[in-house]
Structure 1
């Protein structure tokens, strides 16, 4: 009796496909669903990582400042007037740290007969300065109260006169010093000894503060 029931059950299973090809199809569908779900889970995880990394790059730390390049400062310039024995006398604007020679070049160079023996071509220029180039045989300019020569860059003025070694004739080359004053300086030097400072010149009779102001910068000891 039991054997008959078993055979009947197998017949039913075979008839309705419980153990046949329909069962295999169901198993394959189940595996496919599981595989698709796994792939979807992995893809979702990767998308999350990409979004997180993009957010990290896009965010800037709090308080961060963007450095901007500062504009370069314009190069300083100065204006000088060049006249005398040059090709093109006039007012010129020079940049940087120009020298007397740069002013002469800007004026087109020297003209025929120019005499630069009294000029210091390497001297630095100042804004508003005048540079005069004398011609051969032209008298040397006379220094004013500031110690600079009229029409010539201050650096081109002759070397100061030493009060302790200059002769009476050399002292007379100073502005405002005539024969009598030069003789008084020599006599004072012989009587009281050498001068220890240029200001000591005011101990000489006839030389006060006003006359000394004209000589300051032109004398030394």
Structure 2
């Protein structure tokens, strides 16, 4: 009897074992070189969260950069501090404050001027004396003015008083006359006792003058 037939059983067993060994090594090799993939659902969620986060940051940054605060005072219907767009004009800020009162004098206001952060827009009444149009729209600084930049209304002469925005020859003379007749000013509020100086005028002059 031929050798193959006599040992057929052993050949079959050996073949099965060989196939099993080859299959095992092939599977191990495939497992080692395969990188596990992140689930599609997780990738999609992570990507969406990143996009939303960047969009939110961009929107917040844009909002911070394009809004400013202005203070609208004087003859407007609703005086106060308003948040407006940086591209807005003085006209827009006045509209935000409710518009002009019936006694407002808008001739000194430049409606086309661009607003600025911390700007003060003062609308005078008709007949209110304003020496220069620029005092109607001023920009306030957050830093307090030092006494060296303020004019002492107790010691300044007529020429010195006229260096103050809003003080012309007529008002300078009335200040000196009051000082001569009543003695030195005890406080800036004493200016209200001088003819031609109302509450609004004194408030505009407060950071520009001193009594010490």
TM range (shorter): 0.3 to 0.5
TM-score, L = length of structure 2: 0.43
**Bigger helix fraction:** 2
Q: Which has the larger radius of gyration?
A: 1
